[in-house]
């Protein structure tokens, strides 16, 4: 019995802090493939935009929340070194009636979280729509494939 209770005790904080549940969750929907190709001068010299690329669905029933995003991965071919990254997300619209502090400017993603918006507590699920932008990489990026992962985080106090 003691061992059983001890196991419950050890597991309970982890589940409390990290579980997604029906009342509180963040869902990221990619509406198309998020792949960019640069094989012509104009691709290197101009921004490329994938319209309506990402939908962020938020339900935050227990508390207000903050939604942020960062690059959790940005891997390039041999020779690639940078501290600035060419990926931006650009807010376009929402059906939310509970959002505030929406950052409506294109956000250049980095490896540090940046706030996208806040949402007041609500029973409803709201969608937030984003374009994805590849900033003109120019002529100095090494040839090859770059893989990136955008991590969206919903935080409740």
Q: Which residues bind another protein (CB under 8 A)?
A: 1-2, 5, 8-9, 12-13, 16-18, 20, 24-28, 30, 33-41, 43-45, 53-54, 56, 63, 72-73, 86, 132, 134, 137-157
Min CB(8)–another protein separation in Å: 8
Q: Is 8 helix (H, G, I), strand (E, B) or coil?
A: helix
**Cβ atoms of 92 and 131 closer than 8 Å:** yes
Nearer to another protein, 81 or 143 (CB): 143
Q: How far is the CB of 142 from another protein (least distance, A)?
A: 7
Q: What is the rounded CA–CA span in Å between residue 138 and residue 113?
A: 26
CB 130 within 8 A of CB 91: yes
For another protein, the closer of residues 45 and 104 by Cβ is 45
CB 43 to another protein: min, Å: 7
Nearer to another protein, 99 or 132 (CB): 132
Separation of alpha carbons 12 and 5, rounded Å: 10
Q: CA 136, 137, 140 angle in degrees (round to 5)?
A: 145
């Amino acid at each position: 019995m003691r061992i059983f209770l001890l196991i419950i005790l050890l597991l309970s904080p982890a589940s409390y802090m990290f579980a997604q549940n029906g009342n509180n969750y963040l869902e990221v929907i990619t509406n198309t493939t998020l792949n960019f190709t640069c094989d012509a001068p104009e691709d290197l010299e101009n921004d490329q935009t994938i319209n309506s690329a990402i939908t962020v669905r938020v339900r935050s029933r227990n508390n207000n929340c903050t939604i942020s995003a960062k690059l959790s991965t940005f891997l390039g071919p041999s020779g690639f070194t940078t501290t600035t990254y060419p990926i931006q997300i650009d807010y376009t619209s929402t059906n939310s009636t509970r959002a505030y502090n929406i950052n409506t400017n294109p956000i250049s993603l980095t490896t540090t979280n940046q706030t996208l918006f806040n949402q007041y507590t609500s029973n409803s699920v709201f969608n937030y729509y984003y374009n994805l932008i590849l900033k003109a990489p120019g002529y100095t990026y090494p040839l090859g494939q770059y893989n990136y992962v955008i991590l969206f985080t919903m935080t409740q106090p």
